[in-house]
Amino acid sequence: MTGIFTRLKPVALKTKKIFLFAAALSIQLSFAQFAKVVDKDGYVNVRKNADAKSNIVGKINSGEILYIFSEDANESWLNIDYNTEKEKPLTGYVHRSRVKFIESYDEIPSTEKNANKGVFMSGNIKVNIVSGPFDYSQHKKDFSSAKHGDNQQLEKYKGQEIWGTDGLIPKTYYESITVQIGNKTIQIPQKEIENLFNGDTAATHCYFDVNNDMLYITMNNSEGAGAYVALFIVEKGKYKGRVLALPF
């Protein structure tokens, strides 16, 4: 599974607009989170409005990951975004009873968290996340840029869209993400993390679905217009994929 949720990124904002944007983003992030479709019918209907009688704009299969934007955690209907590389993007509403929030699974506690490292351990599971300062001068040739108004902004790194910089030079990068389950070591592929910048170890969490043997690593990275969220999935000891989203 490799999903990418996209919303237009602002190019330039005045000071007042930046303040309002930051305030709105802070409120949004107080609830916005990943969830998985869990429905006995094998799919969930996505409706145009938060009403069971509203038009159905699409369907999403059970097991798929959604990003939910609802601010009220008690709402029966949840405002979602869903997108994969193979399917048409969907925005609409699904009923709360048809999804399970990733954070509702058993959390794997952190044993170490600092600017460059995050370690999470529980039982025979260990997750090790290593990051460090990014040397732009050594990798400048791997970037491509485009002009937006009067500004030249970085857009791609090694052919992939850049996340976390809002077009500026990255400050930090992920060196590695390693999962140890029993005697098995799972390395998140370098290509899956090399275009993700300015991570925040403090806002990283790990959850484990015991019944389905699935590990979830959630990240809330960067800030302001460069903010993004990421979810990495390991299923039955194998890397399954990632989901990326803009939380606004």
Which pTM was predicted? 0.86
**Quick check: is 47 in a domain?**
yes
Which pLDDT value is given to residue 148? 85
Residue 180 sits in the same domain as residue 201: yes
Residue 163 sits in the same domain as residue 98: no
**Quick check: is 10 in a domain?**
no
Residue 96 sits in the same domain as residue 122: no
Question: 56 pLDDT exceeds 70?
Answer: yes
Q: Are 102 and 216 in contact (CB under 8 A)?
A: yes
Residue 187 sits in the same domain as residue 206: yes
Across the chain, which distance is largest between two alpha carbons, in Å? Answer: 56
Question: 16 pLDDT exceeds 60?
Answer: no
What is the per-residue pLDDT across 203-219, written as a single tens digit (0 to 9) for each?
Answer: 999 999 999 999 999 99
Q: What angle do CA 96, 218, 9 make, to 5 degrees?
A: 85
Please tell me the total count of domains within the chain: 2
Residue 152 sits in the same domain as residue 46: no
**Quick check: is 11 in a domain?**
no
Residue 112 sits in the same domain as residue 232: yes
Residue 94 sits in the same domain as residue 117: no
Residue 48 sits in the same domain as residue 170: no
pLDDT band at 149 (very low <50, low <70, confident <90, very high): confident
Higher pLDDT among residues 112 and 248, named by residue: 112
How large a percentage of the chain has pLDDT more than 70? 84
**Quick check: is 18 in a domain?**
no
Q: Which two tokens stand for residue 40?
A: 């006995």
Q: Are 80 and 179 in contact (CB under 8 A)?
A: no
Helices marked H in 49-154 — which ranges? 136-139
Q: Which two tokens stand for residue 72?
A: 């009220």
What CATH number did the domain enclosing 83 receive?
2.30.30.40
What is the per-residue pLDDT across 120-137, written as a single tens digit (0 to 9) for each?
Answer: 999 999 999 999 999 999
Instruction: Work out the average pLDDT over 82-107.
Output: 88
Point out the domain boundary residue: 42, 76, 103.
103
Question: 190 pLDDT exceeds 90?
Answer: yes
Range of lowest pLDDT (10-14, 74-78, 106-110): 10-14
Q: Which domain holds residue 54?
A: 31-103
Point out the domain boundary residue: 103, 125, 149.
103
3-state secondary structure of 82: strand
Residue 99 sits in the same domain as residue 110: no
